[in-house]
Amino acid sequence: MSILTIILSILLPPLGVALSKGLGKDFIINVILTLLGWLPGVIHAFYVNSRG
């Protein structure tokens, strides 16, 4: 995970996921989680970006 991905995953979780995985199901899930609360979106972004 690059420093840019880490910063984007903290500030704008859906953008961090979109840059690493594209606009697929992980992005949609992250948008929903981020709308429910910032912290679930950040946790999911780090999970998605760390699993490769």
Local structure of 16: helix, strand or coil: helix
Are 8 and 19 a contacting pair, CB within 8 Å? yes
- What is the residue extent of each domain of the chain? 3-50
Task: Collect all residues with Cβ–Cβ distance below 8 Å to 43 and sequence separation of at least 6.
Answer: 33
Are 34 and 13 a contacting pair, CB within 8 Å? yes
Residue % of the chain over a pLDDT of 90: 87
Q: Give the per-residue pLDDT at 2.
A: 86
| pLDDT mean over 4-14 | 94
Q: Give the per-residue pLDDT at 1.
A: 75
φ and ψ of 30, to 5 deg = -65, -40
Is the pLDDT score of 52 beyond 80?
no
pLDDT, tens only, 23-41: 999 999 999 999 999 999 9
